Structure 1
């Protein structure tokens, strides 16, 4: 089921399946900013990544000497959330651990995913509560996809503008996991010019980004999307080299397995630890 929230500037739709954002529009024009999904390329919009981000080696991890199988980006994106609270410009969804989730992730948890409209911005918030009587280990992240181009036009006119940033530290993806041999991507006037060749080796995984604000725009008009994600350790940038008309800008608390990782969940790089009843909260904003 889809739910709508709105204010005087924006209209937003969210599905209860995955608590996934599925539409983002301004009320005074007809432009859809969010990718609408297409099986030819990628049939999602903006899934939540929980309790892992990225891919595990052999799609498995070890906890307390037991091996668990979990697919890329975890399971929350494929679960039905319940509506926890609803107002005209705000909605919050809740997912609770179940017998089914405990079979692949042995922790009791509450996961809240909330959306609030503030002027021309959408604030997306995460809240994770450890309901287990032990330490809980998890990662969480975002995967919003935006139409590229936003309107009819040339994809080659688009770029990502990073605030006060001359270079990016990229961690290369390989079939065996992420390499720690970072690569430097130089920017031109704080800009990463977008083209399909950028994604020939899958996503760009960025670490140590100091200024956590990015603007997606082109050189021909004033349509743009700004994302701010203070506190997130990693950033993923992804599209498909096949000419897919979307670009994903993905703030992450966590990362895929590195080459040679021993698969132990507590040793995973970027993993978050919560004590019993402890709460983790984080948020990012999308402005149009």
Structure 2
């Protein structure tokens, strides 16, 4: 485990998937991250690459050839990542392509996750370096799960998600296999507030496309403590929790699941990112208290 901290926050990162496994508010001692209770969901905050969501037949298609990626959301979250730079307040992890990744994803790349503590915020940066002879195609995103309620004795239903701006929320629906079915549904709000309930995610994640809001804050009606997720450059957002579990995920994505029907070439997949030969892709989201 790698630990970084400053006066406000202490973060612990697992090298398996470079997964943030703990984030502690040092002023209160509060653990902000879900602690991976296997009864519900055995993860904390997976990093997603080179795909997001479910794939038809668990495959991507590149130049007409299928490649199997068995793990939903890609292979990074189960990969050993190498810590390459660490200071007291920054940790950087790398996954270079190898024979195993080439069998699933036929591109040469280096994928990095960088954690920086900046005052009361944790910045999570994703960097992709194209080491291939041509363009590469991928999706990238985060899946952090935050403890809700924050403290023992509180109610889950006292919490809500406060969106940056007041806007109509329309979710894009998934079928039972996790693929978009082409249908949408309005999400009921109280102004900018989406109140959490135990049944909110009975039909899977709420997935939003092209939100005006690029900031979501987890708040309680009972006190002023809060967690804010800023995702200025992510066009898709997933909100999810396992029914009955004391957490909520706020998931910034550049990419999404397949749509039901025939699989498409990876380069034609919805929201896919293209990176030309010799270029570097970089984006970040922020978690602050």
Instruction: Give the TM-score taking structure 1 as reference length.
Output: 0.97
**CA-to-aligned-CA distance 1:88-116 (integer Å, 9 cap, x gap):** 11111111000011001000100110011
**CA-to-aligned-CA distance 1:168-199 (integer Å, 9 cap, x gap):** 12100103510232222232120000112110
Count how many residue pairs are aligned between Structure 1 and Structure 2.
Answer: 286
1:167 matches 2:181: no
**CA-to-aligned-CA distance 1:20-78 (integer Å, 9 cap, x gap):** 10111122222100001111001110010100000111211211121111131000111
1:259 matches 2:230: no
1:283 matches 2:284: yes
Moved more, 110-119 or 183-192: 183-192
For residues 70-81 of structure 1, the aligned pairs below 5 Å read 70=69, 71-81=71-81
1:155: which partner in 2?
156
CA distance in 2, matches of 1:181, 1:238: 18
**CA-to-aligned-CA distance 1:213-242 (integer Å, 9 cap, x gap):** 01001100111100100110100011112x
1:171 partner SS: strand
2:217 partner SS: strand
Residue ranges of structure 1 left out of the alignment (5+ in a row): none
Q: RMSD of aligned C-alpha atoms?
A: 1.1
For residues 56-71 of structure 1, the aligned pairs below 5 Å read 56-70=55-69, 71=71
Deviation at 1:6, TM superposition (A): 0.7
Deviation at 1:261, TM superposition (A): 4.2
1:105 matches 2:124: no
* 8 Å CA contact retained: 1:166, 1:187: no
CA distance in 2, matches of 1:232, 1:28: 30
Deviation at 1:9, TM superposition (A): 1.1
* 8 Å CA contact retained: 1:172, 1:179: yes
CA distance in 2, matches of 1:247, 1:38: 13
Instruction: Give the TM-score taking structure 2 as reference length.
Output: 0.96
1:276 partner SS: coil
1:16 matches 2:7: no
